[in-house]
Chain A
Amino acid sequence: MTFRINRRGVLAGGAAALSASALGLPGTAFGQETRLRLMWWGSQPRAERTFEVSNLFMEETPGVTIDGETVGWDDYWPRLATQVAGRNAPDIIQMDYRYIFEYARRGALAQLESYVPDTLNVSDFDQAALDGGSVDGSLYGISLGANSSAMMINMAAFEEAGIEIPDNSLTFDEMKRIGEEITKAGKRQNFYGLSDGSRVEPFFENFLRQRGKALYTEDGQLAFDAEDTREWFQLWADMRESKACVPPDMQALDKNQIETGMVSLGHAAVSYAHSNQLVGYQTINKDPIVMHAYPRVAPDAGGGHYRKPSMFFSVSAQCENPEAAAAYISFFVTDPAAAEILDVERGVPESSAVRESLAPKLDETGRAAVEFIGGLGDLAGPLPPPPPLGAGEIDKMLIRVSEEVAFGQHTPQSGAEAFVAEAESILSRG
Chain B
Amino acid sequence: MTTIASPASPYVPTRGRLARVLARNGAGYLFLLPWFIGFLGLTAGPALASLYLSFTDFDLLTSPRWIGAANYVRIATADPRFIASMQVTFVYVLLSVPLKLAFALLVAMALNRGMKGLPWYRAIFYLPSLLGTSVAIAVLWRQLFAGNGLVNSFLANFGIEGPSWISNPNYSLYTLVVLSVWQFGSPMIIFLAGLRQIPQDMYEAASLDGASKWRQFWKITLPLLTPVVFFNAVVQTIEAFKAFTPAFIISGGTGGPINSTLFYTLYLYQEAFGFFRMGYASALAWILLVIVALFTAFSFLTARYWVHYDD
Contact = CB atoms under 8 A, between A and B. Distances in A.
**Secondary structure of the A side of the interface?**
helix
Given A249-B167, A249-B168, A82 B273 contact: yes
Interface string B127-166: 0000000000000000000111000000000000001101
Interface in B164-194: 164, 166-169
B164 A250 contact: yes
A390 B275 CA distance: 7
Given A74-B252, A190-B147, A252 B257 contact: yes
| Residue from A106, A252, A256, A396 having most chain B Cβ neighbours under 10 A | A252
B290 to A, nearest CB: 24
B230 interface: no
Interface string B46-69: 000000000000001110000000
A81 B276 contact: yes
Contacts of A107: 61
A400 B147 contact: no
A250 B167 contact: yes
Contacts of A396: 254, 270, 274
Contacts of B254: 255, 396, 399-400
Interface bin, chain A: 20 to 34
Interface in A369-424: 390, 392-393, 396, 399-400, 403-404, 407, 409
Interface in A216-255: 248-253, 255
B258 interface: yes
Interface string B260-278: 0000000000100111100
Nearest to B257: A252
A107 B62 CA distance: 9
Contacts of A12: none
Contact of A249 (B163, B253, B259, B276): B163
B60 A393 contact: no
Contacts of A108: 61
Interface string A94-134: 00000000110011100000000000000000000000000
B60 A252 contact: no
Contact of B273 (A81, A248, A251): A81
Given A85-B61, A190-B148, A252 B256 contact: yes
Contacts of A255: 252, 254
Interface in B46-103: 60-62
Contacts of A251: 167
Given A85-B60, A250-B164, A403 B258 contact: yes
Contacts of B61: 81, 84-85, 102-103, 106-108
Given A74-B253, A85-B60, A407-B257, A393 B148 contact: no
A248 B148 CA distance: 15
A137 interface: no
A20 B169 CA distance: 58
Given A84-B61, A400-B256, A252 B273 contact: no
A392 B275 CA distance: 8
Nearest to A108: B61
Given A81-B273, A84-B60, A253 B164 contact: yes
Contacts of B147: 190, 249-250, 253
**Secondary structure of the B side of the interface?**
loop
Interface in A48-89: 74-75, 77-78, 81-82, 84-85
A400 B275 contact: no
Contacts of A102: 61
B200 to A, nearest CB: 53
B167 A393 contact: no
Contacts of A85: 60-61
A262 to B, nearest CB: 12
B275 A393 contact: yes
Contacts of B148: 190
A91 to B, nearest CB: 17
Nearest to B135: A1
A11 to B, nearest CB: 39
| Residue from B166, B273, B275 having most chain A Cβ neighbours under 10 A | B275
A101 B266 CA distance: 27
A255 B60 CA distance: 26
Interface string B225-258: 0000000000000000000000000001110111
A85 B60 CA distance: 5
Given A190-B147, A399-B254, A403-B258, A78 B167 contact: no
Given A250-B164, A393-B275, A396-B274, A82 B258 contact: no
A407 B257 CA distance: 9
A240 to B, nearest CB: 14
Given A396-B274, A399-B254, A252 B259 contact: no
A400 B259 contact: yes
Contact of B257 (A103, A248, A393): A248
A35 B147 CA distance: 47
Contacts of A260: 252
Contacts of B275: 390, 392-393
A255 B167 CA distance: 11
A233 to B, nearest CB: 14
Nearest to A102: B61
Given A399-B254, A400-B258, A403-B256, 19 more contacts: A77-B273, A82-B273, A85-B60, A85-B61, A103-B61, A190-B148, A249-B147, A249-B164, A249-B168, A249-B257, A250-B164, A251-B167, A252-B167, A252-B257, A256-B252, A260-B252, A400-B254, A404-B258, A407-B169
Top 8 closest A-B pairs, CB basis? A78-B273, A252-B167, A255-B252, A85-B60, A252-B257, A106-B61, A249-B164, A249-B168
30 contacts: A74-B252, A74-B253, A77-B273, A77-B274, A81-B60, A82-B60, A84-B60, A84-B61, A85-B60, A85-B61, A103-B61, A106-B61, A106-B62, A249-B163, A249-B167, A250-B147, A252-B164, A252-B167, A252-B257, A253-B146, A255-B252, A392-B274, A392-B275, A396-B270, A399-B254, A400-B256, A403-B256, A403-B257, A403-B258, A404-B258
